[in-house]
Amino acid sequence: MPGQFLYNLFLLLYSTGVRIASTWNPKAKKWLQGRKDIFPAINEQRSTNNGQTIWMHCASLGEFEQGRPLLEELKMNASTGSAEELKIVLTFFSPSGYEVMKDYKGADHIFYLPMDSPVNAKKFLDAVDPCLVLWVKYEYWFYYLQEIKQRKIPVLLVSGIFRNNQPFFKWYGAIWKQMLQSFTHFFVQNDESKQLLQQLGFSNNVSINGDTRFDRVIEIAENHQAVPAIKEFCGDDVVIVAGSTWEEDEIELLHFIKQNPQLKFIIAPHEIDEANLKDVKAAFVNPVFYSELQSATGHRPPTTNVLIIDNVGMLARLYKYATITYVGGGFGEEGVHNVLEAAVYGKPVLFGPVYEKFIEASGLVEAGGGISVDGLINLEDVLNKLLSDEEDRMKRGEAAKNYVYANAGASKKIIQFIQEKRLLTS
């Protein structure tokens, strides 16, 4: 079939490209090294598997945060009975997911997903032998999904989102449509996704369920872990936390930061490799890295009002300390990052103009808790207005928090489906 030929060509080109890039790109090198001789480790987990196994696959860290509430609720439900009989195998495609979560205690085994191929799919499923597969949001692998279907293993799509510009809906999309036939049920985020799937003939196995990320950010906020060094840095000052920033975001913020030395700013770049951190630090006046702040053991530099976060995994806790939040990515082609992490704390959320394909960002704007800015002047006007009008700032913050809580519960609905369909009953 032509589609399968093109898919195999894609796999070959992708693998070759990663090998070439690994000679200079750290992420590509980790991607390659993480999959080297991986099957002995995957086969080894079989000896510890004495009961049912759930396999959850996530492309990267963001998808894991969507799947995490569901995974943890499944594990918690099992703990009320016989926890040892339920094993969780978690896989990632990207190093940015695996490297951050490889020590995560909520899963029994965590692996890179071996590159898609008929042989790898068979070997992996032989070793893991799942009774249920949870596929989070997107990233579809033909041979894995075909092998799952052949073995008649139920597979659920979690927090799926579909758009008419995806391959499923193109003239060349036959192989992509075939992948969808492997799914037992689609839990999608919005009505548009449901309608698009219906156009392909999927109607009885599609549910509009929202986004499980709402559940995750609520869990983080309600179990907030304080960060003493951050709290000390902020003091009683007005603080703007800018998370997941790219160069385009930092350029937009730079002038306002220079003009407002009386305010505190926390910048958490999306990329924290050494070269990018060096560039970010050079752009601001007398900034300090979080690692430097920690090593100062309570003696923070008295002249700095800019703190740069040089680690991964802290951002979701930082927004609590903000007066106003800013989420990066909205000035780039890929679009804005996770606005829910900021909104849940009841703070106004600002971001760039590229957000339309992110329904949570659009919903936040409609609710009044999110504000899209289209450039430096607009950004500064919005920030100045929010800082001078406490009533408006508080109103928008409350709207942001209410929006998050109003959309909670997606994980419990999927759990209910699993229970009703008895997908974990042997």
171, part of any domain: yes
132, part of any domain: yes
- 323 plus 381 within the same structural domain: yes
Q: Is the pLDDT of residue 127 over 80?
A: yes
Comparing 83-92, 108-117, 263-272, 308-317, the range with the smallest average pLDDT is 83-92
Q: According to the model, what pLDDT value does residue 300 have?
A: 53
220, part of any domain: no
Question: 367 pLDDT band (50/70/90 cuts)?
Answer: very high
Report the predicted TM-score, pTM, of the whole model to 2 decimal places. Answer: 0.87
393, part of any domain: yes
Arithmetic mean of pLDDT, 353-367: 94
Asked if residue 266 lies in contact with residue 309, where contact means CB atoms within 8 angstroms, the answer is: yes
pLDDT in tens, 300-315: 555 789 999 999 889 9
For the chain, what's the residue count?
426
- 399 plus 413 within the same structural domain: no
- 207 plus 236 within the same structural domain: no
- 140 plus 42 within the same structural domain: yes
- 159 plus 38 within the same structural domain: yes
Asked if residue 182 lies in contact with residue 163, where contact means CB atoms within 8 angstroms, the answer is: no
Q: According to the model, what pLDDT value does residue 273 have?
A: 85
218, part of any domain: no
Number of structural domains (the chain) is 2
pLDDT in tens, 207-243: 999 999 999 999 999 999 999 999 999 999 999 999 9
pLDDT in tens, 265-304: 999 999 888 889 999 999 998 899 999 888 765 555 557 8
b vs e for 385-394, b when ≥16 Cβ sit within 10 Å of the residue's Cβ?
Answer: ebeeeeeebe
- 262 plus 368 within the same structural domain: yes
C-alpha pair distances (Å), 20 with each of 13, 24, 55, 275: 10, 8, 31, 21
- 16 plus 74 within the same structural domain: yes
- 357 plus 413 within the same structural domain: no
261, part of any domain: yes
CATH assignment at residue 94:
3.40.50.11720
Q: According to the model, what pLDDT value does residue 82 have?
A: 47
State the Cα torsion 247-249-252-256 to the nearest 10°: -110
Q: Is the pLDDT of residue 62 over 90?
A: no
219, part of any domain: no
Question: 26 pLDDT band (50/70/90 cuts)?
Answer: confident
- 35 plus 81 within the same structural domain: yes
300, part of any domain: yes
- 313 plus 415 within the same structural domain: no
CATH assignment at residue 397:
3.40.50.2000
Distance CA 126, CA 15 (A): 23
Structural domain for 187, as ranges: 2-212+409-420
- 300 plus 194 within the same structural domain: no
| Tokens (6 digits) for 248 | 């385009």
Q: According to the model, what pLDDT value does residue 352 have?
A: 96
Arithmetic mean of pLDDT, 11-19: 94
Q: According to the model, what pLDDT value does residue 83 have?
A: 44
Arithmetic mean of pLDDT, 55-64: 94
- 348 plus 307 within the same structural domain: yes
